Amino acid sequence: MAERLLDVKDLTTHFFTDDGVVRAVDGISFHIDKGETLGVVGESGCGKTVTALSIMRLIPQPPGRIVRGRIDYSGRDLLELPPKEMRKIRGKEISMIFQEPMTSLNPVFTVGEQIAEALRLHEGLGRRDALDRAIEMLRLVHIPNAERRVREYPHQLSGGMRQRVMIAMALSCSPKLLIADEPTTALDVTIQAQILELLNELKARFGMAVMLITHDMGVIAETAQRVIVMYAAQVVEEASVQELFKEPLHPYTQGLLRSIPRIDLAATRKQRLQTIPGTVPTLRGEARPGCRFAPRCEFARPAHFDNDPALKEVRPGHKVACFLY
Amino acid sequence: MAEALLRVRHLKKYFPIRGGLFSREVARVHAVDDVSFDIQPGETLGLVGESGCGKSTTGRTILRLVEPTAGEVWFEDRNVTTLDKRALRQIRKEMQIIFQDPYASLNPRMTVRSIIGEALVIHKLARNRREREERVVQLLETVGLAAEHLRRYPHEFSGGQRQRIGIARALAVSPKLIVADEPVSALDVSIQAQIINLLEELQQKFGLTYLFIAHDLSVVEHISTRVAVMYLGKIVEIAPAKELYTNPKHPYTEALLSAVPIPDPTMKRRRILLEGDVPSPIRPPSGCRFHTRCPIRVPSCSENDQVLKEVAPGHWVACQVRS
């Protein structure tokens, strides 16, 4: 039996803006086991990133606030920790990499100084030792000429290199969980392949768990063991990666999988892409009852607009929030 | 063989980099470097490559939104590269463009009515206000919007709807050729499929010809008749879509295709991982531009320039090892 690393229960994060409340994450529950890769998939604005920032306690406050829920991590609720205790976890036990490495690196410090900062803070290393470890980390993420690169500034590096530096920084204190928020979205496909390969290699080496947030079903299929699908601030399906792709249960997941052009089927068939009609609902304003996917769902019946479907386990390890099951 | 609608010959675009006391040219970005291809009427030519390979500049240079450094572009029997301003405006009625970012390419201060109607005014395509209004509504309906959207501003629409407005604007002048520059890259997958289907329907309905520029190989494969692959300003391979994807010849095309993640966890593939990054287009490598990262290079690759050679009917590749 796999050991739980992180347990998120009923997490609810709202943003209180001048134009009303934005229910960015609305009562989601999921867990991450030690050493596994959990894929989090969904379209823009579905709450993937806010979920990650909530776990890290990095929600800008105000306007944001975690209004409900708990996040259990090694016997403690992260949401109850005082800021000082949380700082010991953030960057050491749980660290995060972002989509756009240029905006998350500090342009006025060398990459070496930025990696060394975490090491001095969390591991209590001296300046010299921290810099040596920084060079070691750059080698680990396969940056050539690490001794020279460690003295360079972010703008001197290419996009792929910057993402490697981010990974080096995130892994410098050997975290137990790495949250990767669209780590390859800004990169070209050949560079994406390099970075995904690197993440897999390092994951195996350090035995850490990864929460991989992406909108790309291909990236999910090739890296995750388990997947949660998010739609309009809620989890609509959870399954092992094999099950999810073989037998998606939620009409949204089914639609999503059918709407992707498939390069691997190129030679065998060519047909019109299937689409999901309409657009994602707004998360602003009063919460309306009913399944949030119902207005776009071909199986929707009048009753589905009145009540919220609960996320329930319909097969071992396979959960879905849909009235059809 | 049918007469090509568009013929591009030895097209080059170098962007000068200026510096020093007198802003002299100190270097050049070789964005497009000797590119030639044809597009047949009614077909979709896909142009793929990674960021900075020159695919967008190629599209813009064809329309002369960017002035070419050298080379010729023939649209039917007219040489676009030598047209004066007046004639250029005339020919733009037949060649239109759709941009990647529907947020940036629609004027935020104009209503949908004026955005789409503007072209009708400029090209005098409507006799009076009423006729223009009717035509705009008709265009909106063609792209899946409605008359109720006429008085709205771009910010009131979602990304997919904005792209529909961009398409309606391009269609307003009844063009023959549309250059679609990353038209679905900024959209979510479920919306992306809607726009791809719309572009295919419009092609059927109006007999449109597309130059479809994108970095997403799966999307390009889906929509294109033929596909050209660009690397550092040059076309390295061009072939019918199915042939290119099932039988790629250039080592760069192979690597590119093998890098695309496939949404099927049961599939395990051999991935060709390229070393390093794309070199700078300011000082591109000598000889074959891909030789610095190529897994199958031989010593002479760094010396010999590569030209496209036909290896199968309609399948051209610029690689001395593979042709």
CA distance linking residue B102 with residue B120, whole number of Å: 20
CB contact under 8 A, A262 and B262: yes
Q: Which residues of B touch A188 (CB under 8 A)?
A: 50-51, 215, 278
* pLDDT for position A266: 58
Share of chain B above pLDDT 90, in %: 69
Distance from CA of A153 to the nearest CA of B (A): 18
Q: Which residue of B has its CA nearest to A282?
A: B158
* pLDDT for position A271: 72
Q: Which residues of A touch B221 (CB under 8 A)?
A: 261, 263, 266
pLDDT tens-digit series, residues A164-208: 898 999 888 889 999 999 988 878 888 888 889 888 888 988 899
* Angle subtended by helix axes B189-206 and A251-258, to nearest 10: 50
Q: Which residues of A touch B196 (CB under 8 A)?
A: 261, 273
Q: Which residues of A touch B241 (CB under 8 A)?
A: 266
Distance from CA of B59 to the nearest CA of A (A): 20
* pLDDT for position A232: 92
Share of chain A above pLDDT 70, in %: 98
CB contacts < 8 A (A, B): 125
Q: Which residue of B has its CA nearest to A157?
A: B277
pLDDT category of residue B172 using cuts at 50, 70 and 90: very high
Closest CA to A154 of A166, A136, A170: A166
**Vertex B229: Cα angle to B223 and B232 (nearest 5):** 140
Distance from CA of B25 to the nearest CA of A (A): 23
CB contact under 8 A, B188 and A43: yes
pLDDT tens-digit series, residues B32-65: 999 999 999 999 999 999 888 999 999 999 999 9
Mean pLDDT of B176-197: 90
| Bridge partners of residue A30, in order along the sequence | A8
Q: Which residues of B touch A161 (CB under 8 A)?
A: 277
Q: Which residue of B has its CA nearest to A278?
A: B191
Distance from CA of A70 to the nearest CA of B (A): 30
* pLDDT for position A270: 60
CA distance linking residue B249 with residue B321, whole number of Å: 10
CB contact under 8 A, A259 and B189: yes
Half-sphere exposure of A224 (CA within 13 A, CB side): 33
CB contact under 8 A, A260 and B218: yes
* pLDDT for position A191: 84
* pLDDT for position B254: 94
CA distance linking residue B176 with residue B209, whole number of Å: 6
Distance from CA of A259 to the nearest CA of B (A): 6
Mean pLDDT of chain B: 91
* pLDDT for position B20: 79
Q: Which residue of B has its CA nearest to A190?
A: B259
Residue B50 forms contact with A (CB below 8 Å): yes
CB contact under 8 A, A43 and B219: no
CB contact under 8 A, B192 and A219: no
- Please indicate whether residue A100 or residue A296 has the higher confidence score (pLDDT): A296
Q: Residue A279 is nearest to which of B160, B196, B262, comparing CB atoms?
A: B160
Residue B23 forms contact with A (CB below 8 Å): no
Q: Which 183-242 residues of chain B touch chain A by CB within 8 A?
A: 188-194, 196-197, 200, 215, 217-219, 221-222, 241-242
Over 80: is that where the pLDDT of B2 sits? Answer: no
Q: How many residues are listed for chain B in this entry?
A: 323
Residue B265 forms contact with A (CB below 8 Å): yes
Distance from CA of B316 to the nearest CA of A (A): 19
CA distance linking residue B37 with residue B11, whole number of Å: 9
pLDDT tens-digit series, residues B217-265: 999 999 999 999 999 999 999 999 999 999 999 999 999 999 998 888 8
Most A CBs within 10 Å, among B188, B221, B247, B256, to test the A interface: B188
* pLDDT for position B63: 94
pLDDT category of residue A269 using cuts at 50, 70 and 90: low
Measured in Å, how far apart are chain A's first and last C-alpha atoms?
27
3-state DSSP call for residue A325? coil
Closest CA to A220 of B209, B261, B70, B181: B261
ipTM over 0.90: no
CA distance linking residue B317 with residue A263, whole number of Å: 21
pLDDT category of residue B276 using cuts at 50, 70 and 90: confident
* pLDDT for position A289: 85
Q: DSSP characters for B201-267?
A: HHHHHHT-EEEEEES-HHHHHHH-SEEEEEETTEEEEEEEHHHHHHS--SHHHHHHHHHSPPS-TT-
Closest CA to B102 of B42, B166, B150: B166
Q: Which residue of A has its CA nearest to B217?
A: A263
Over 80: is that where the pLDDT of A62 sits? Answer: yes
The answer to whether A300 and A220 are in contact (CB under 8 A) is no
Tokens 């890769």 identify what position? A37
pLDDT category of residue A82 using cuts at 50, 70 and 90: very high
Q: Which two tokens stand for residue B236?
A: 């390295």
Q: Which residue of B has its CA nearest to A217?
A: B263
Q: Which residues of B touch A196 (CB under 8 A)?
A: 261
Mean pLDDT of B94-119: 89
Q: How many residues are listed for chain A in this entry?
A: 325
Mean pLDDT of A305-316: 92
Per-residue exposure over A188-217, b if at least 16 CB sit within 10 Å of its own CB, e if not: bbbbbbbbbbbbeebbeeeebbbbbbbbbb
- Sheet with A209-214: strands ordered across: A94-97, A177-181, A209-214, A37-41, A226-231, A234-240, A318-320, A312-315
* pLDDT for position A1: 57
Q: Which two tokens stand for residue A59?
A: 């929600």
CB contact under 8 A, A273 and B189: no
The answer to whether B79 and B305 are in contact (CB under 8 A) is no
Q: Which residues of B touch A221 (CB under 8 A)?
A: 261-265, 267
pLDDT tens-digit series, residues A125-147: 898 999 999 998 898 888 888 88
pLDDT tens-digit series, residues B117-155: 998 998 888 889 999 999 999 999 999 898 889 999 998
Distance from CA of B37 to the nearest CA of A (A): 24
Lowest mean pLDDT among A107-111, A228-232, A273-277, B92-96: A273-277
Tell me the C-alpha to C-alpha distance, in Å, between residue B55 and each of B41, B62, B92, B215, B236: 21, 11, 20, 9, 12
* pLDDT for position A282: 80
Distance from CA of A183 to the nearest CA of B (A): 14
CA distance linking residue B175 with residue A102, whole number of Å: 40
pLDDT tens-digit series, residues B56-90: 999 999 999 999 999 999 999 999 999 999 999 99
Q: Which residue of A has its CA nearest to B261?
A: A218
pLDDT category of residue B17 using cuts at 50, 70 and 90: confident
CA distance linking residue A138 with residue A119, whole number of Å: 14
CB contact under 8 A, A193 and B221: no
Share of chain B above pLDDT 70, in %: 99
Q: Which residues of A touch B247 (CB under 8 A)?
A: none
CB contact under 8 A, B261 and A192: yes
Over 90: is that where the pLDDT of B269 sits? Answer: no
CA distance linking residue B286 with residue B281, whole number of Å: 11
Q: Which residue of B has its CA nearest to A243?
A: B265
Over 70: is that where the pLDDT of B307 sits? Answer: yes
Q: What is the pTM of this model?
A: 0.88
